[in-house]
Structure 1
Amino acid sequence: MSIHSPQRATILEVAREAGASKTSVSRYFGGERERLSRELQGRIESAAQRLGYRPNQMARGLKGGRSRLIGMLVADIRNPFSVAVMHGVEQACRERGYSLLVCNTDNDPAQEREHLALLTSYRVEGLVINAAGSPDRELQALVEQGMPLVMLDRELGEVEAEVVGLDNARALDLALDHLQVQGYGELLYLSEPPEQASPRQARLMRFHQGVAARGLAGEAHCQALKDRETLQRAIGDFLARPGTAPRALLCANGNATLAATRALQTLGARLGDTGLLGIDELDWCALVGPGITTLAQPTEAIGRAAVECLMRRRECGDHTTPSRRVHFQASLIPRGSTRR
């Protein structure tokens, strides 16, 4: 007994089911939905769902030169920030009739170059890049070939592309102002090594500028967070140092906040007496002890803005236009970890 896989529904069958022309169905799946009435769009969508129709994007790209695919390189897909922003990117792509291809580079520059070549081989119509290394030469070559490109969160100095991300200077100012108002006078800034990530560099620089301008005592610990013993020792030494000024930890991202929380629990430090503030709002931050104060990034808006910039760049067709910086503001969510 032979088993045959069900045949794929055709665009003609969708047209018949929806009571529409084949041209209208092609426009619906070809990115020209705005030319159809809402009622007709609804009929086509319902018919496609009933028949299980899925357009062959690769075939469309080879035939008409448009793949309806957007590529996205993510430095670390395990990072909650990356996942949240990716959701915004995917939603915005889908609303415009595009599909999203995501490659995780795992913070490996070699993988980044391989994935970049893979995405371009699929004839993607634009790229959203959260860089792990420094693929300046490869990316600039794509820009010069006419590939629309947007840098997400991290920027590269040699690439002429728009950058969408957090206003890091304002975020650090907001954090430092809050900690100072709450009475903390000595601060320890915790971050992963900043060399390969421009946001880490910007936040670290603003931290040093900010503590000096406010008359606070501040120092930074910037090492791999996987080394828990070294991190715990650095935090323990900071808390045990002679002095009377209340002390607080300021964490550069969600990974640093998690590592600091583990270390403080091991050391038996009481949140609030020892202040703790982290950049990036994570689900568990409201559940630990009295709650952890965070600076929340508008991740959905950042992801959507990246796609909007990409589409604008693609539609104008002028890749010599000077690139912009689109910065979003963080929101302070105060909790018990900064309440003495």
Structure 2
Amino acid sequence: MSSSRATLIEVAKLAGTSKTSVSRFFGPERDKLSSVLQSRIEQAAQSLGYQPNLMARGLKGGGSRLLGMLVADIRNPFSVAIVHGVELAARAHGYSLIVCNTDNDPEQEQKHLASLAAYQVEGLIINAAGQPEPQLQALMKGGIPLALLDREVRQLDAKVIGLDNVLAIDMALDHLVQQGYRSVLYVSETPEHASARLERLKRFNQQAEALGLDSQTLVLSSLAEHSAIPILKAFAEHPTTVPKAVLCANGNATLAMVRSFQHLGLAMGPLGLIGIDELDWCELVLPGITTLAQPTDVIGHAAIACLLNQFPQRARELPVQYRHPPTLITRGSTTFPG
């Protein structure tokens, strides 16, 4: 067996097509080929072990077929799920994804943006840690399309793809009211620099007042999760005749509160618990935690569609939905024994 790399011409010969068609398949004009021809070229390339030099292609102006993605916190369950959705969508359109984690550090974010530009990425999906408006403006002026994920960047003319935060809060509070809860503790991570958290907090305050609920807010510090315990204890023990519940703004807040419930020996249900974001373990913690699940794969596909629609060579525009509804998954943690 020859050790030399397969060539584009060899792929074209095996697929029974032209070199131009193969080049299109591995370039930005794949959509111009029929699905049958795409399948033949893909099978021929796999059979020969052909791998295009994407970096060289990008340097020659032919398109690197690389997309970049900045994630504010890769440890966040939402981030893990959304990266999966974005990668699936990128792959379906013939692109590879480079993911950079900023650890919510604006300085690291700027370094990653510079690196991704150097890699000749054809587009960027940004889950912002800070407000990198100058850097993103410069990239857009340089011809790199971008889409924002979950968080807006002030003064930047770019679409934000993500959850319908107003609807999520409304659904959560409507569910709690229907279950008989009338006093709610809202738990969120620090909302600054995260527009989705700000939107949810603002809507909670508005809707709690509109529904006539007793309400409190707890902002968690990532460095002092245990500080939630005395606040939850005071909330649970405060004398009142109305049932109480805790509403968690995201998966990290839900995890912190479950730990606090367990530390204090509080039963879920008599003290309600509902969280935005469905986590794998939510159904395993008895009596099961009620959640509002984000359609992360759908959001990921929408982010890629939004990005690709900005490419000048697109043959047709892909449909895009910017705000996505959650799905309520009801479990025992919001069943009040009345």
Instruction: Give the deviation of 1:159 after TM superposition.
Output: 0.9
State the TM-score, normalized to the length of structure 1.
Answer: 0.92
Greater Cα shift, 41-50 or 215-224: 41-50
Distance in 1 between the 2:71 and 2:332 partners?
33
What letter is aligned with 2:139? L
More moved, 14-23 vs 205-214: 14-23
Question: Corresponding residue for 2:269?
Answer: 272
1:313-328 to structure 2, matched below 5 A, reads 313-315=310-312, 326-328=322-324
For 1:152, the equivalent position in structure 2 comes to 149
SS in structure 2 at match of 1:283? coil
Distance 2:250 2:133 in 1: 25
Give the gaps of 5 or more residues in structure 2.
Answer: 315-319
Q: Which of 326, 331, 339 is equivalent to 2:327?
A: 331
1:8 partnered with 2:25: no
Question: What secondary structure, in the 3-state scheme, does the structure 2 residue paired with 1:155 have?
Answer: coil
Amino acid at match of 1:123: Q
Deviations 1:224-247 (A, max 9, x none): 144232111111111111222111
Please, which of 239, 243, 247 is the counterpart of residue 246 of structure 1? 243
1:225 and 1:259 in contact (8 A); partners too = no
Residue 131 of structure 2 contacts residue 154 of structure 2 at CA under 8 Å; is this kept in 1? no
Over 3 Å counting, the alpha-carbon distance change for 1:37 and 1:141 in structure 2 is closer
Aligned 8 A contact 1:15 1:44 in 2: yes
1:29 counterpart residue number: 26
Structure 1 unmatched runs, 5+: 318-323
1:302 match: secondary structure? helix
Q: 1:258 Cα shift?
A: 0.8
SS in 1 for 2:282: helix
The worse-fitting range, judged by mean Cα deviation, of 290-299 and 221-230 is 221-230
Correspondence 1:1-340 to 2 at 5 A: 6-315=3-312, 326-340=322-336
- 2:317 is matched with none
In structure 2, how many angstroms separate the alpha carbons of the residues matched to 1:177 and 1:33? 46
Are residues 274 and 225 of structure 1, via their aligned partners in 2, closer, same or farther at CA, if it must alter by over 3 Å? Answer: farther
Percent of counterpart pairs with the same letter? 58
The one-letter code sitting in structure 1 at the alignment partner of 2:252 is N
AA at the equivalent of 2:64: S
RMSD: 1.8
Distance 1:102 1:71 in 2: 6
Q: CA deviation at 1:16?
A: 3.0
Cα deviation per residue 1:252-290 (whole Å; 9 max; x = unaligned)?
Answer: 000111111111011111110110000001111111101
Query: Which amino acid is the alignment partner of residue 158 of structure 1?
Result: Q
Question: Relative to structure 2, which stretch is displaced further, 48-57 or 296-305?
Answer: 48-57
CA distance in structure 1 between the partners assigned to 2:186 and 2:17 by the alignment: 61
Supply the AA of the counterpart residue of 2:256: A
8 A Cα contact 1:130 1:151, kept in partner: yes
- Distance in 2 between the 1:161 and 1:253 partners? 24
The offset of 1:132, in angstroms, is 0.5
CA distance in 2, matches of 1:214, 1:60: 58
The 2-side partners of 1:120 and 1:220 are apart by: 41
Give the CA deviation at 1:36.
3.1
1:6, distance to aligned residue in structure 2 (A) = 4.2
Conserved? CA contact 2:246–2:274, under 8 Å: yes
Residues in 2 aligned to 1:57 and 1:159: alpha-carbon distance in whole angstroms: 30
**How far apart, in 2, do the equivalents of 1:17 and 1:232 lie?**
66
Distance 1:124 1:173 in 2: 39
Give the aligned residue type for 1:214: L
TM-score normalised by the chain length of structure 2:
0.93
Does the CA-based 8 Å contact 1:18-1:43 persist in structure 2?
A: yes
